[in-house]
Amino acid sequence: MKFTSKTLDFAGKQLTLETGKLAKLATASVVARLGDTMVLATVVTSKKETTLDYFPLSVEYIERLYAGGRIKGSRWVKRQGRPSDEAVLTGRLIDRSIRPLFPKEYKKDVQVVVTVLSVDGENESDILSMIAVSAALALSPIPWKGPIGAIRMGYKDGEYLFNPGGEILESSVLDLIITQGKEKTLMLEAGGLQVSEDIMLEAIAKAQPENKKLISFIEEFAKEAGQEKITVTQDEMLLDFIKKVEKKYKKDVENLVLLRSQNEGSSSDQELLVEKIHAAELIENPEIKADKKAIAKAVEKVFFKIIRENILEKGKRPDGRKVDEIREINVEIDVLPRVHGSGLFSRGDTQALSIATLGAIRMEQLLESPEGEAKKHYIHHYSFPPYSVGETGRVGFLSRREIGHGALGERALLGVIPSQEVFPYTIQVSSEVLASNGSTSMASTCGSTLALMSAGVPILAPVAGIAMGRVQEGDKYVLLTDILGLEDFSGDMDFKVAGSKTGITAIQLDVKDNGITLEQIKEVFEKAKKARLFLLDKMLAVIEEPRKAVSEYAPKVAMVKIPVSKIGEVIGPGGRMIKNIMATTLTVVDVEDDGTISISGEDMDGVKKAVEWIEGMTREVTVNEEFENAEVKRILPFGAFVEFLPGKEGMVHVSQMSTGFVKDPSEIVKIGDKVKVRVMEVDSQGRINLSMLFGEDAKKAQERSHDRSAAPRPFIPGGNRPQHPLSRQFQREKFSKKRY
């Protein structure tokens, strides 16, 4: 494999693709570079065919912390373990983009591995990885109907951003990843801050020219360094069985479709039909050994073909609905008594129970990646147990599908979650899929909205989601609203759109053919918005707005902002002050480096007391400011120390306790007494002098003080005050008298 390198001006930046230098034993390998971000994409295909019923493609996306000059934060384990959720999601992005373009007849294992080698914090490695994989597959002998282009689109202040990254991406109201062929769109993944359909559509349209340029570039690269493609042929036995099933057993398959659409049938019914056909074939052609797997595949093909024909020719869906009709909706809240918030959303046979849990800010999730560390204060977990589809299976293992669906549900609500300044909590929503028959991710999105509103989270707007489908033969197509599981399996597209009444918050598109046109995307947006508004009306009929207060079982949280210079006062020497605050108020106090303090506790009174304590300690006091109910804490011969604000003390000198002479401060005040005080002075060291005298009494005390300072001091031999027996002067005089 010879070394080949090519460069392209891609969206205003230099993109470089290289092959023939690294990973030479792979079927194909490409190193891609954008700025200082670099990835290695390898593709390997096995030599033997598998016996699996599906195309054996696996995609692995590997992040290395060294790419950003980082070492794993754990003090005990330094080797990186399981991939992060972000890495899994990027692997799924690549998989969803390339899978539709492999021929179904190719049955050899294909493994794609992407390794992130370097990151610069400005150019995102996910887009670069998709480009590198597209190039590697184009170079390989593996049959694939690519290449494809991939780009990220943003939107800010009326301008569309091409491949934004770093701080620019963070400030964008749109994060849209698009993979496209020369004419159609293959995959979409987006999150937005209630972005309008028009803006989203225009972003997709503007991505097409850049992706076309990228595809032409990869094609030229493949001409120079590519290998000859393997040709695949159709399975003649399978085609023969499909014809036989259509001719002899079509009625049986139609009955099977009817049973499955009414949820009265199961996979066992299909297995019985396969056994029936297999037995008949053995009797009819005893000299030919009938392949049961081929018969089962043929039955499935005919099964899906009947569903597609009914939709395209008759407008008849498996469950009898109109093409734009939504299944029956049921909405409930507060279904669980002791959780902080819960919502049950049912759409037909699909059912999701979402539970919102509120916690202190310190409970937020820390994320570690090559780019650095980040925090999440809104977390969504999605669980898909086997009983939700009436099957047995492994429990406790988190699948990539669950990670992906959870991330989609999280992204759908992320744009309306209030900031921690407005709502100082860490928020976790767990969606339990109780029954699945199409679009559980969108059901969990609706359930999450209900749970958050039930928990009293002041979301910016309620969000709902719907899954759209498409069945197409040639130029004729039908778009389906709220697809069933059967329509998902037999159709050509699964297009999920979530948003509020104002705009879109998340979209996810997967196709099974060569893509979807821009006009079809526009039509999907129109139909999805209509369905979304219908769902929101159903949800808002149960709960109109978020509750004004959080659950009595939720922790109470408050935020305080103090000057950075005051942090030391709150913490105290050795942490004694902050520990005292927490122990006294039964709260948890967390201090950030920027002066943000979070106080959480089970009792609101304790939280309020801690807030007052901290605010009192850190507030600036002014001269002549007065305070009621200051508490006497300590009494000394020259005065008393008084706590006039929580955690803040000042000294009242004996001369400021009374207009007359005070021999002993204990004659005026006792420890624990509540007195009114006035700030006399704040010295250069921050010490506060107080007075218990006001009005005319204060003036008299001030005059008396001036008189004493102006009067000449009486002469006293040896000084103005009696000699102490141990003073050096007294000892010298005593010694002198003895000597003389």
Quick: pLDDT tens for 73-87.
Answer: 888 889 888 899 999
Three-class DSSP category at 473: strand
Closest listed residue to residue 114, CA positions, set 143, 507, 97, 100: 97
Q: Can you give the pLDDT at residue 658?
A: 82
Q: Which of 384-398, 497-511, 518-532 has the lowest mean pLDDT?
A: 384-398
- Are 607 and 587 in contact by the 8 Å Cβ rule? The answer is yes
Quick: pLDDT tens for 581-622.
Answer: 999 999 999 998 889 999 999 889 999 999 988 988 888 888
Q: Which of 429-443, 469-483, 629-643 has the lowest mean pLDDT?
A: 629-643
> What percent of the chain is predicted at pLDDT more than 90?
61
How far the first Cα of the chain sits from its last, in Å, is 113
Residue of higher predicted confidence among 161 and 695: 161
Other CB atoms within a 10 A radius of the CB of residue 664 amount to: 9
Closest listed residue to residue 308, CA positions, set 66, 134, 487: 487
Three-class DSSP category at 61: strand
Q: Can you give the pLDDT at residue 309?
A: 94
Quick: pLDDT tens for 612-662.
Answer: 889 888 888 888 888 888 889 988 888 999 988 877 889 988 888 887 788
pTM: 0.85
Instruction: Place 721 in a pLDDT band, splitting at 50, 70 and 90.
Output: very low
C-alpha 382: how far from its chain's center?
A: 12
Phi-psi region of 435 (alpha: psi -120 to 50; beta: other; left: phi over 0): beta
CA distance linking residue 615 with residue 613, whole number of Å: 6
Q: Can you give the pLDDT at residue 535?
A: 98
Q: Which of 272-281, 559-568, 569-578, 584-593 has the lowest mean pLDDT?
A: 272-281
How far, in Å, are 45, 48, 162, 231, 421 from residue 141 at the CA level? 9, 15, 32, 9, 55
Quick: pLDDT tens for 105-125.
Answer: 898 999 999 999 999 989 999
How far, in Å, are 5, 16, 34, 563, 649 from residue 31 at the CA level? 9, 8, 10, 49, 66
Instruction: Place 740 in a pLDDT band, splitting at 50, 70 and 90.
Output: very low
Residue 736 has pLDDT above 60, yes or no: no
Segment 526-551 mean pLDDT: 96
Q: Which two tokens stand for residue 237?
A: 């036995």
- Are 116 and 67 in contact by the 8 Å Cβ rule? The answer is yes
Quick: pLDDT tens for 283-334.
Answer: 677 666 667 788 888 888 999 999 999 999 999 999 899 999 999 999 999 9
Q: Can you give the pLDDT at residue 720?
A: 42
Q: Can you give the pLDDT at residue 174?
A: 97
| Contacting residues for 721 by C-beta, under 8 A, at least 6 apart | none
Q: Can you give the pLDDT at residue 286?
A: 65
Residue of higher predicted confidence among 528 and 366: 528
CA distance linking residue 682 with residue 651, whole number of Å: 11
Residues forming beta bridges with residue 37, ordered by sequence position: 34
Q: Can you give the pLDDT at residue 520?
A: 97
CA distance linking residue 720 with residue 354, whole number of Å: 82
Q: What is the mean pLDDT of the chain?
A: 89
Q: Which of 18-22, 284-288, 342-346 has the lowest mean pLDDT?
A: 284-288
Instruction: Place 264 in a pLDDT band, splitting at 50, 70 and 90.
Output: very low
Phi–psi pair at 328, nearest 5 degrees: -60, 135
| Contacting residues for 317 by C-beta, under 8 A, at least 6 apart | 310, 311, 323, 480, 484, 487
